[in-house]
Amino acid sequence: MSYPIDINRKEITYDDMKKKIIEILTVKKKPVMFSSATMIQLNGEPAEGMSHVAVICGYKKVKSLKNGELLELFKVHNSYGEKWQKENNDGWCSAYNLVHSASLFWTEEDDKPYFGSTAIKYLDY
């Protein structure tokens, strides 16, 4: 079964969503389904025609070899198979880039962005 993640309010930020994904991965120990994701290349640019559902199954922090900055990474598994995993850091990608590729929706009443209920779900198996 899958359940939409609910943070008890309609309007959330990218940072709220990232924190909730991390909580589900680390506390509930459950993978997270991320739909409407536009895959991001290593250079930070969107990969053309690469929008689909992916499963986030891991989280870690690493230090950048370039500047020593602390980076947050999500481990992604998707339908592109083993070749994609091997060519893309075994599926480890920037948490920031992945979350910022999520779909935002706007309400007409208050003109505030929010994530649709299908944007991210945790999986219970």
At residue 77, the pLDDT reads: 87
Q: Which residue has the higher pLDDT, 41 or 1?
A: 41
Tokens of residue 22, six digits: 């991390």
* Tens-place pLDDT, residues 1-12: 444 455 445 566
- Contact (Cβ atoms closer than 8 angstroms) between residue 52 and residue 98: no
Measured in whole angstroms, the distance separating CA 37 from the mean position of its chain's CA atoms is: 8
- DSSP for 70-104, please give it: EEEEEEEEETT-HHHHHHTGGGEEEHHHHHTTS-E
| Domain regions of the chain by residue span | 2-123
At residue 118, the pLDDT reads: 47
- DSSP 8-state symbol, 122: E
Residue whose pair of structure tokens reads 């870690």 in the numeric block: 60
* Tens-place pLDDT, residues 59-118: 999 999 999 999 999 999 877 778 888 888 999 999 988 887 765 544 444 555 444 544
28-37, 46-55, 76-85, 89-98: segment of lowest average pLDDT: 46-55
How far is CA 11 from each of CA 21, 34, 41, 100, 101, rounded to the nearest angstrom?
16, 18, 28, 15, 17
Q: Which residue has the higher pLDDT, 5 or 20?
A: 20
Residue spans of beta strands (DSSP E) within the chain: 2-4, 32-40, 46-63, 70-78, 92-94, 104-106, 113-115, 120-123
